[in-house]
Structure 1
Amino acid sequence: MTIIPKFQEITLPMLKLASDGQVWSLADAREELAKHFQLTEEELEELLPSGRQARFANRVAWAKVYLERGGILSSSKRAHFQITERGREVLQDPPEEISIKFLSQYPEFQEFRSRSSKISEGGSDDETTDTPEETLESGYLTIRKNLAAEVLERVKSCSPRFFEHLVVDLLLKMGYGRAGGGSGERVGQSGDEGIDGIISEDRLGLEMVYLQAKRWEGTVGRPEIQKFVGALHGKRARKGVFITTGTFSADAASYVQTIDPKVALVDGKQLADYMIDFGLGVSLARAYEVKRIDTDYFEE
């Protein structure tokens, strides 16, 4: 199985492309490099965790940047490049890989790294195989994963009554009820017939979403879901959401795909992710903006 090459594995093949002396567009280079590495469509479409850029495209772009900073490629216009005299010299006796360590022999690259790099804890940045975006997103995902675990533990430690209020608040945060002028309320109590909350999606209450909240450690199986579906039938309801701090069995997940009313299952991991995404029970600690050059501004 082909693995998407790291950006330092792309640098030498990119330089060899430019050995013809022509001006290459980044788009044409990506296409040729994809053929060189025999990448599949699936691999070419794999996105960074942010979902905003293809991983391979990101690595090709950074391979170009690093070669330019080392004076091996030059760029006369945006998203284009061509070989320099230094690049031709490199190809006369090419290394196995044009790595960060190799590029560090050039003063221009040393200056670039001293301005823009951050040495990661536990190792030299000469050893990195990730692009800056990948490093940033990897750090973000680690922070988010730890936060999600902490959120879920806090939710598990709260009272059943608080948890019922929480799931109602979450659905409202997600836009259910408010978009159509509706509302939400906790109704969990003795004799609630398995309904812990209700979201009214419109002012007249014609569209209702019924909720069940189970603050469980274990796995919720099909029998529990069937009880909830029975309660929905008793309300003549068409929509239900079953939220648990635990997990759902495969049988429970397959069961809800075949029934009417529609029932959405939200397990503990999804619950924590939704709370983070919609700002429930969490607050902003710090924000970073990643900006790009505005080429339009510099047009003369």
Structure 2
Amino acid sequence: MELPKYHETFMPILEILNTVKVISSRELARKVRDNYYSELPKELLDKKTSSGANVLIDRILWGKSYLKMGKFVSYPKRGVVQLADKGKQTLISGKLLLSDLQNDPDFISHRSAVQSKKDEIKMETIDVDNSSPQDLIDNGFSTIETEVKTELLDKLKEIDPYFFEKVILILLKKMGYGDFIETSKSGDGGIDGIINEDKLGLEKIYTQAKRYTENKVREKDIRNFIGAMSGDTTKGVFITTSTFDEAAIKKAREAHHSIILIDGSKLVNLMHQYNVGVQVKITYEVKELDNDFFEGE
């Protein structure tokens, strides 16, 4: 007997959610464990990860996270889960394999939102026998990082637009720019913030932040942003949680001003890099033999 893989918990998770309106993530994991896996040996049920977490509970929670990416479940508010209409339809069909999820349009779109255009989504079942320990570590960290970034982008799309503007200024401050000024929320002419390019404030950079869920930033938005600079500066940063259409990219590229465009993918990459809106959960130490120690033997 062995513990289920995270993707083998998909259907049990959906079945439990079908019996409740909403439930906390931890309570969901416990119910899945108790209803579907209680017959496993105690040593398996009590098995811990290197960080001290229960392995089975951890896998169920990962299963829930992947179901969220595919819109089979939803998070109506912090810490709770509920079954989505798509999940109800899946219960009717009676199965959801890992391959089904990998090919699901919502899942692909969700994960793609945080990938740079240079990267391809690679979600494969790892061949443990033919992978080095370093391969397994790298793949694990990559998976966790993608999950965090997708959740971060979702959160950015939900927060108050004014707070989103402040998040952007905090990020730029973390990136080493000088002090920032939040502009008035009325009559600001399309400028959300002003940051100092240097610590002394000799050069100004204007910012515009658009918290879009689906809409793309269009050429008109870039044109209005450039016009709002009114000759005060030639440098601007336009940030969005979505993407820019081709006309907007072309307008920014051909403008006499220096306009930097940051889409949702690049934004969460920067926030992850500079620890804005995320925090370190666990630190692992990987040790190797110190050959220098034994040279004097």
Scaled by the length of structure 1, what TM-score is found? Answer: 0.53
In the TM superposition, what whole-angstrom CA distance separates every residue of 1:121-158 from its partner, at most 9, and x where no partner exists?
Answer: xx997x53322112111111111111111111111111
Q: Which residue of 1 aligns with 2:238?
A: 242
In the TM superposition, what whole-angstrom CA distance separates every residue of 1:172-227 from its partner, at most 9, and x where no partner exists?
Answer: 011111xxxxx112114221111001112335421111100101121112221111
Q: Which residue of 1 aligns with 2:187?
A: 191
Q: Aligned pair 1:176/2:172, yes or no? A: no
Structure 1 residues 204 and 274: CA distance shift in structure 2, 3 A: closer
Match of 2:269 among 273, 288, 291: 273
Q: Which residue of 2 aligns with 1:151?
A: 152
Q: Which residue of 1 aligns with 2:197?
A: 201
- The root-mean-square deviation of aligned C-alpha atoms, in Å, is 2.0
**Contact in 2 for aligned 1:164/1:188 (Cα 8 Å):** no
Q: Give, in whole Å, the separation in 2 of the partners of 1:184 and 1:270.
A: 21
Q: Give, in whole Å, the separation in 2 of the partners of 1:202 and 1:141.
A: 34
Structure 1 residues 283 and 250: CA distance shift in structure 2, 3 A: same
Gaps (5+ residues) in structure 2? 1-124
Q: Give, in whole Å, the separation in 1 of the partners of 2:274 and 2:284.
A: 18
Amino acid paired to 1:166: V
Q: Which residue of 2 aligns with 1:258?
A: 254
Question: Secondary structure at the residue paired with 2:139?
Answer: helix
Amino acid paired to 2:223: Q
**Contact in 1 for aligned 2:177/2:198 (Cα 8 Å):** no
Amino acid paired to 1:229: I
Q: Give, in whole Å, the separation in 2 of the partners of 1:290 and 1:251.
A: 48
Question: Larger C-alpha radius of gyration, 1 or 2?
Answer: 1
Gaps (5+ residues) in structure 1? 1-122, 178-182
Amino acid paired to 1:252: A
Scaled by the length of structure 2, what TM-score is found? Answer: 0.54
Match of 1:297 among 268, 293, 296: 293
Question: Secondary structure at the residue paired with 1:240?
Answer: strand
Q: Which residue of 2 aligns with 1:220?
A: 217
Identity %: 40
- Count of residues in Structure 1 that have an aligned counterpart in Structure 2: 171
